[in-house]
Structure 1
Amino acid sequence: MIVSPQDKNKIKQMNPLVLAFVGDGVETLFVRAKVALSGDAKANALHKKASAEVNAHAQSEQAERVLPYLTEEEKDVFLRARNSKSRHHAKNFSVTDYRRASGWEAVIGYLYLTGEIDRLKELFELMEKI
């Protein structure tokens, strides 16, 4: 954990798309570490593997799978981000995928910033299983 855990109420006040911004970075780091440890030593191959998991469509599917396992608090963060109006979306993916991915990223960002690393790890592990 590089950032000290922040007050939940403070983090809940943040723009949900800012939480998604943080969550995108956290998930990218998680996925890059996972593929780096997978044994393939070629950077280009690692990049392709990571990119296949960290994009709006893949994250949208992850959100769908993990949504039933979220706490009410996490669902609230997810819905706030998913329903936030963004001026743009990923050009190669649908608006629905982009918004759902933003919701998932916001949950990740929220858990990271509040120091709930065990819960974050639990959700990442769950995502790998389901």
Structure 2
Amino acid sequence: MANLTAEKRFVQIERLSPLALAYIGDAVYELYVRTFLLMPPKRMADYHNLVIRQVKAEAQAAKLEILEPYLTALEKDILRRGRNACRVKPKRLTLKVYQQATSFETLIGYLYLTDFQRLQELLAKLKSIPKIS
């Protein structure tokens, strides 16, 4: 997508499925959490456990609840698209939690590709990620 004009790139992003946006959003959010938790230095096992607690579906659903009051109509539409893309309930979660987590990832992916500054604004509202003592 790097060689495309901004308008053509936007059109291609708009054509991506919600699950494709969630796929990239999951990676972006995990990188954000890993970066946030990097300091102060910790043992690798501690990093891993902290990251897993923050990127699991239940935590993402909780983060979405924090962000919802700040979202625009377009962002809420992206959430709806992500939620509606979930058709299969995983074994360990309720369908609602899975849908919320997928919606969260879809929004993160969409903003990463279309409006990185807005993504940073919203992620700044989540700086309450707990750190290990």
- TM class by shorter chain equals 0.7 to 0.9
Pairwise CA distance, 1:92 = 2.5
Could you say which residue in structure 2 is the equivalent of 1:98? Answer: 98
Tell me the residue number matched to 1:14: 16
Q: Greater CA radius of gyration, 1 or 2?
A: 2
How far does residue 113 in structure 1 lie from its aligned partner after superposition? 1.3
2:85 aligned partner: 84
- Structure 2 distance, partners of 1:33, 1:125, is 13
Question: 1:110 & 1:121 partners in 2: Cα distance?
Answer: 13
How far is the alpha carbon of 1:46 from its aligned partner?
Answer: 0.5
1:52 is matched by which residue type in structure 2?
A: R
- 2:127 maps to 128
1:88-118 deviation per Cα after TM superposition (whole angstroms, max 9, x unaligned): 53x332211110010010010001112x211
Structure 2 residues without counterparts, runs of 5 or longer:
129-133
Identity %: 34
- Give distance in 2, aligned partners of 1:61 and 1:54: 11
Unaligned stretches of 5+ residues in structure 1: none
**In the TM superposition, what are the counterparts of 1:11-90 in structure 2 within 5 Å?**
11-37=13-39, 39-89=40-90
Q: TM-score normalized by structure 1?
A: 0.86
Aligned AA (1:71): T
- SS of the aligned residue for 1:36 comes to coil
TM-score (norm: length of structure 2): 0.84
How far apart in 1 are the matches of 2:103 and 2:45?
A: 29
Return the letter of the residue paired with 1:105. E
Given that residues 80 and 103 in structure 2 are in contact (C-alpha distance below 8 angstroms), is that contact kept between their aligned partners in structure 1? Answer: yes
Native 8 Å contact 2:18 2:82 kept in 1: yes
Deviation at 1:27, TM superposition (A): 0.1
